[in-house]
Amino acid sequence: MEKYLPVTMARHAYIIEDSIVDPQNRTMTTLTWNISHARMMSVEERCEYRINPDNTSWTEINREAWISSNLYGLSRAIQEFGLARFKTSVAKTMKGFEYVLAKMQGKMEASCFYYAVK
C-alpha cells in the first residue's frame, strides 16, 4: 500500500496529543489522533500508564487504538496498512522509552514495561 502513496504522505503525519495526569490515582492517560491525512485514514490511540500492582517499581501501559477509513473500495486495505504502521510505531516508541529510562537511571531492567496492542 505504501508504494502507492506520495513519499511525504507515507513518511510524515501530524498528530495531536492530549495528556491527563491524575496525581491522586498515580496515572497518566494520553489521547492521540492524527490531523494530517485524516480524510484518508483516522487513527486514534489511548494509553493509560499506571503503577503495576504486583511490582510497584514497574510501569504498566494499557494501549488501545482505533483505525478507520471511509474510502470506498480501499477502506480495508488502508486500515490494514494503518495497523501495520501503528504496530511498527509502538515498537519504536517502546525502544525509545527504554533508551531514555536507561539513560536517566544509568541502567535498565529487562522487564520494566508491560504493554499490549488491542
Using one digit for the tens of pLDDT, what is the confidence trace for 17-58? 999 999 999 999 999 999 998 889 999 999 999 999 999 988
Q: Residue 41 in contact with residue 20, Cβ under 8 Å?
A: no
Instruction: List pLDDT tens digits, range 57-107.
Output: 888 999 999 999 998 899 999 999 999 989 998 989 888 888 887 888 776
CA–CA dist 83, 66 (Å, integer)? 9
Separation CA 105–CA 66 (nearest Å): 34
Identify whether the C-beta of residue 2 lies closer than 8 Å to the C-beta of residue 13.
Answer: no
Query: β-strands 59-68, 15-22: how paired?
Result: unpaired
Identify the band that residue 110 occupies on the pLDDT scale cut at 50, 70 and 90. very low
pLDDT at 11: 66
